[in-house]
Structure 1
Amino acid sequence: MSHHRQVRTFIATIPDQAFTQRLVQASALLKDQAPLKDLRWIDPKNWHITLRFLGNLNPRQLVVLPAVLSKTLAGHQPFSIRFKCIHCFPSTSKPQVIAALFAPSSELLALARASELAARAIALTPEDRLFRPHISLARYSKRQPAYLPQAITFDSLPLAINQVIIFSSELTSCGPIYKPLHKLPLTIS
């Protein structure tokens, strides 16, 4: 009966290689300052900006999602977003992760809205949380962390956004394993 299994899924975009390399350098500085017992660092190959977490999808939803998402993404072209800083997320009073944060982007917000429309089209409950784009770099292992970094900024290339990816997420004792299920390029019309 494994073919009826639900798959934990999310829609995201990933940083390009140049941006990833710059972020690896910046997070290395943080690793030198941070008490390692408070933080679990995320492998750069797992870095992404979640556009919409979908949760567990059944096989039918998984089959129709790529076509539905492709429709809602129609007309969206490649663009770039601007890095703002590395800081606690969602806030310094209730930090869950250390994350790369980005300047507001109407294009990225439009991708999140397109992802939300696709989620609703496959009968998922509407997402009511505000979209706050970030790349999680490290997770706090405690509720009240001892270490809170100052916001770190660095000169960075803009982050080029040219595709949207549907990922599966398998939770394991060593951390989540993300697998791209479908890649949907943003095309210049």
Structure 2
Amino acid sequence: MRAFIGIGLPDSWRHTLNCCAEQVRAVCPEWRDARWVPPENLHVTLAFLGEIAPQTVDPIMTALHSTLSSHQPFTLTLKEPVVPVPHGRRVRMLWATLDDSSGKCEQIARAVGEAAASYGALQETRTFKPHITLARARSPLVYAAPGNGGFDQCITPCLTSDAAMSVALVTLYSSTLTPQGARYAILGNAPLAGR
């Protein structure tokens, strides 16, 4: 089964990001046909594990509990709700970026990735950038710079004062690809220290 380790979002963030997505689709017609992540699937990926055997779920969960017992809960802040990726003119995705100025999210991403790798999961080689994927373009799109019909028009109506969330739990998810999009199921939760 395909699996990943991630952080679920509070309903207030799902609502805010869904509002941003609706605004982008209204203002930027080229993004209407993109593959948008449904609000219930929005999350922060800490480690994509690839295909894992079902019998490795329990050992991975045990490793996560052990690994996370030495990490304290932390706060993530919504930095930019709509960011084109990669930066430049040929955009493939839209992200919401997160502020991890403490570096704790990156530390946990590295730790859980290493813990799962001992059970055959993929090990990430790219630099970790905490984000939430909002949409994937079916083919690269030309980015309209702010002020020219860009995403700056979409963001202001959606922003709320609830832009920070406390992270005290990490989740192991399965991901099943269907013609309607990915379906996620929770395989287990692991609390951070003190929870």
Normalised by the size of structure 2, how large is the TM-score?
A: 0.83
Tell me the distance in 2 between the aligned counterparts of 1:31 and 1:53: 28
Find the residue that maps to 1:65 and give its secondary structure: helix
Match of 1:116 in 2: 113
Q: Take 2:86 and 2:118, find their aligned partners in 1: how far apart are those partners?
A: 28
Q: Is the 8 A contact 2:44 2:132 kept in 1?
A: yes
Q: Tell me by how many angstroms 1:155 deviates.
A: 4.5
What CA RMSD, in Å, does the superposition of the two structures yield over aligned residues? Answer: 2.1
Distance 1:176 1:167 in 2: 11
Match of 1:48 among 43, 47, 53: 43
- Quote the offset at 1:156 in angstroms: 4.0
Aligned residue among 175, 181, 189 for 1:175: 181
Are 1:59 and 2:54 counterparts? Answer: yes
The alignment's TM-score, normalised by the length of structure 1, stands at: 0.85
% of aligned pairs identical? 31
Question: Is residue 2:84 matched to residue 1:88?
Answer: yes
Q: Look up the SS of the partner of 2:18 in the other structure.
A: helix
Query: Which residue is equivalent to 1:19?
Result: 13
Compared CA separation, residues 159 and 10, structure 1 to 2 (3 A): same
Correspondence 1:134 to 2:128: no
Which residue is equivalent to 2:147?
Answer: none
Supply the distance in 1 between the matched residues of 2:112 and 2:85 (Cα, whole angstroms).
Answer: 22
1:107 paired with 2:113, answer: no
Return the offset for 1:139: 1.4
Q: Which amino acid aligns with 1:184?
A: A
Cα distance between partner residues in 2 of 1:118 and 1:130: 17
Number of positions where the alignment pairs a residue of Structure 1 with one of Structure 2: 182
**Higher strand fraction (1 or 2):** 2
Structure 1 residues 37 and 27, CA, compared in 2 at 3 Å: closer, same or farther?
A: closer
Identify the range of structure 1 (61-70 vs 173-182) with the bigger mean alpha-carbon deviation.
61-70
Contact 1:97 1:137 in 2 (8 A): yes
